[in-house]
Amino acid sequence: MCGIFATLGTMLEPGQIDRVVTSLRHRGPDGWGHWHCATADVSMVHTRLSIVGLSNGAQPISNEDGSIVAIVNGEFYGWQETRRTLETKGHVFQTETDSEIVVHLYEEHGIDCVHHLRGEFAFVVWDSKEQRMVAGRDRFGVKPLVWTQTGSKVSFASEAKALFAAGVLRPRWDMTSLAHAFTHQYMPTTRTLFDGVRSVRPGSVVIATNDGVRVVDYFSPGFDPQAKGATAANVLDALTEAVKLRAQADVPVATYLSGGLDSTACTAILSQHVPDVHAFAVSFDDAEYDELPFATQAANAIGVDLTAVSLSGPCLLDATFDAAYYAEGLAINAHLPAKFLLSRAVRNAGFKVVLTGEGADELFGGYPHFQQDQGADIAGLDPTLRGIMVSDGNDDSCFHWENAFGFVPAFVRAKRRNGEIAQSLLNNIALPESELVAEMREDIGRDLRDLPPADRSAYMWSRWTLAGYILKTLGDGTEMANSVEGRPAFLDRAVHDIAVHQTLEQKIQGTNEKALLKAALKDVVPSSILSRRKQPFVGPPVAATKSGLEMILEACKTMPFVDTNKIEAVWRSYPAQELESAFFTLLSAAAIHTRFSMETP
């Protein structure tokens, strides 16, 4: 994994290059490179985290005649076979890295090269013959990529802070994005919190020339209304291949292990193919949220070493400002600093690569709110999830969602309740919900009414929550802050293409979630883990504690859109657990406001 920056229409000066490299150094501490073309006003900067081709993988990388130049952040799987195929067609490779296949695939296929890439990635290509800059992002949005356009100048970067470092624009709040975040937590896939900064939508390519910019979508999450059926054997074969591919690196590979089905499956499969696997788990000092006993049980059953990262409320609060700064996103509870500190422990132990379990719940129906969407009785659900993922009841005020989608997912009802509290702390930044929902509807880009309710919910969740929050903020944001590459095996192309051959209605049987995945893993995962109910990664309340309140009050003094007079009154009116999501959203916003010295329109 790496940090990338590219601009068309202006040349970077040496001081700008230095600032960009510094801003992305956490993504690539092992080296950096720069390339420019004076005749076309193009500059590219790359900071490298060396994982494959350690000795000769410096970027930017060009083709044989220098007409195509690329910078890449990510990992490509099966690249050796792709390389051999390209070599038979006369392409000459200069490095031993997976990244170089982008250059030659682009030579062969142009923007359709994305269909030949398997992995998690973001890249920028400069095509001197066509005089265009092409930026692409992987199917699910595992790797981030943002961009901005000012007149005829277009710039791309792994993180917005690199755009600010280059002086392309100043850090300023996008008030519509804030309205989205404080109303229902999530934003459309092309939005960021920063005015003028857009996110490249997952599964799309942005093409920039001196004449303008156009976006081409090449993928959207598949939930097949005419599902043809998939077998447990199909799933296990695809997942095993995905894990084995993600074990390929020139550095050691570790895993996260919560003791849940997904992380345990990845760890168990990895241990069958790699010796001396090392796993890492979070341990909270609040027993209600602590999963360490399950992680320990799983590690002992599989036979892998486990490092527990013990986290208290004060240390979670202390890490929140750094975590939010690197993640460039708002969070709803302390799982953000917890993941940040977990990734730091991974790196301090000498690992650059870690396997993760993200994506399994979306593809196989693991979340309790999907069960609620199907009408299942979730009375025995862990109470820590109520108001975070599942709704406590019907909300007649969701009629805008009903009109737009013909259905209101349980997670939307839950988020709106948190939003009501969060909005009560703000000074008139709310927009009419009809406008916000209309933008979300446009962002989906298709009619979901042909899908069963849970599949509609999963489609929406995958677009907004998985890509914009789980993968970007909680995933890449916290991992790459510590120079750690996360590899989510369940989001492999082959696993997805198998999983969509069943609807979630088929995968969820009452309160028995992930029926297909459990059948696939019955001989891989310990039975006690197989029968365990889903427990999402949720941190204990910290923002709604007295210490959290004091931190919020101090940090919000310079935020003109926050009504500090209301914060303490609201804090006294609700129990901490009910307040935590709204208060942590406010705390993470305060962290970004402070660390970026944000301006307000």
Contact 449, 406 (CB under 8 A): yes
Q: Are 446 and 299 members of one domain?
A: no
Contact 394, 409 (CB under 8 A): no
Examine residue 222 and state whether it is found in any structural domain, yes or no: no
Q: Are 319 and 383 members of one domain?
A: no
Examine residue 600 and state whether it is found in any structural domain, yes or no: no
Nearest to 124 by CA among 46, 182, 64, 191: 46
More confidently predicted of 175 and 397: 175
Residue 589 has phi, psi (to 5 degrees) of -65, -40
- Give the per-residue pLDDT at 147: 98
- Give the per-residue pLDDT at 383: 55
Q: Which of 124, 148, 169 is the last residue of a domain?
A: 169
Q: Are 118 and 17 members of one domain?
A: yes
CATH number at residue 512: 3.40.50.620
- Give the per-residue pLDDT at 174: 96
Q: Are 274 and 396 members of one domain?
A: no
Q: Are 126 and 272 members of one domain?
A: no
- Give the per-residue pLDDT at 504: 83
Contact 461, 362 (CB under 8 A): yes
Examine residue 394 and state whether it is found in any structural domain, yes or no: yes
The lowest-confidence range among 138-142, 146-150, 300-304, 401-405 is 401-405
Q: How far, in Å, are 141, 175, 382, 466 from residue 189 at the CA level?
A: 10, 16, 30, 10
- Give the per-residue pLDDT at 581: 92
166-172 — which CB contacts under 8 Å span 24+ positions?
A: 166/5, 166/7, 166/12, 166/16, 166/19, 166/20, 167/16, 167/19, 168/7, 169/195, 169/196, 169/197, 170/599, 171/596, 171/597, 171/598, 171/599, 172/196, 172/598, 172/599, 172/600, 172/601
- Give the per-residue pLDDT at 503: 82
Examine residue 227 and state whether it is found in any structural domain, yes or no: no
Q: Are 37 and 119 members of one domain?
A: yes
Half-sphere exposure of 7 (CA within 13 A, CB side): 27
Q: Are 300 and 341 members of one domain?
A: yes
In the block, tokens 């970007």 appear at 472
pLDDT-derived band at 393, boundaries 50, 70, 90? low
Share of the chain above pLDDT 70, in %: 95
Mean pLDDT over all residues of the chain?
A: 92
What's the mean pLDDT in 148-157?
94
pLDDT-derived band at 500, boundaries 50, 70, 90? confident
Half-sphere exposure of 367 (CA within 13 A, CB side): 28
Strands 253-256 and 278-284: parallel
Question: What domain range includes position 76?
Answer: 2-169
Q: Are 434 and 298 members of one domain?
A: no
- Give the per-residue pLDDT at 390: 67
CATH number at residue 134: 3.60.20.10
Q: Are 260 and 155 members of one domain?
A: no
Examine residue 565 and state whether it is found in any structural domain, yes or no: yes
- Give the per-residue pLDDT at 371: 86
Q: Are 346 and 467 members of one domain?
A: yes
Rounded Cα distance between 563 and 565, Å, is 5
Q: Which two tokens stand for residue 120?
A: 């998690």
- Tens of pLDDT, residue by residue over 461-481, are 999 999 999 999 999 999 999
Q: Which two tokens stand for residue 532?
A: 């365990």
Examine residue 159 and state whether it is found in any structural domain, yes or no: yes
- Give the per-residue pLDDT at 227: 56
Q: Which of 142, 169, 196 is the last residue of a domain?
A: 169
Q: Are 46 and 15 members of one domain?
A: yes
- Give the per-residue pLDDT at 508: 87
Q: How far, in Å, are 394, 400, 424 from residue 434 at the CA level?
A: 19, 6, 19
Region of residue 591 (phi > 0: left; psi between -120 and 50: alpha; otherwise: beta) = alpha
- Give the per-residue pLDDT at 509: 83
pLDDT-derived band at 117, boundaries 50, 70, 90? very high
Q: Quick check: 415 pLDDT over 90?
A: no
Q: Is 141 helix (H, G, I), strand (E, B) or coil?
A: coil
Q: Which two tokens stand for residue 88?
A: 């038979």
User: Looking at the DSSP assignment, which residues form a beta bridge with residue 62?
Assistant: 69
Q: Are 567 and 504 members of one domain?
A: no
Examine residue 368 and state whether it is found in any structural domain, yes or no: no
What's the mean pLDDT in 406-410?
87
- Give the per-residue pLDDT at 283: 97
- Give the per-residue pLDDT at 387: 57
Q: Quick check: 98 pLDDT over 80?
A: yes
- Give the per-residue pLDDT at 512: 83
pLDDT-derived band at 381, boundaries 50, 70, 90? low
Q: Which of 487, 506, 530 is the last residue of a domain?
A: 530
- Tens of pLDDT, residue by residue over 189-247, are 999 999 999 999 999 999 999 889 999 999 987 766 555 678 899 999 999 999 999 99
Share of the chain above pLDDT 90, in %: 75
The lowest-confidence range among 342-351, 393-402, 517-526 is 393-402
What's the mean pLDDT in 20-41?
95
Examine residue 184 and state whether it is found in any structural domain, yes or no: no
Q: Provide the number of structural domains found in the chain.
A: 3
- Tens of pLDDT, residue by residue over 126-143, are 999 999 999 999 999 999
Residue 285 has phi, psi (to 5 degrees) of -80, -5
Rounded Cα distance between 133 and 209, Å, is 6
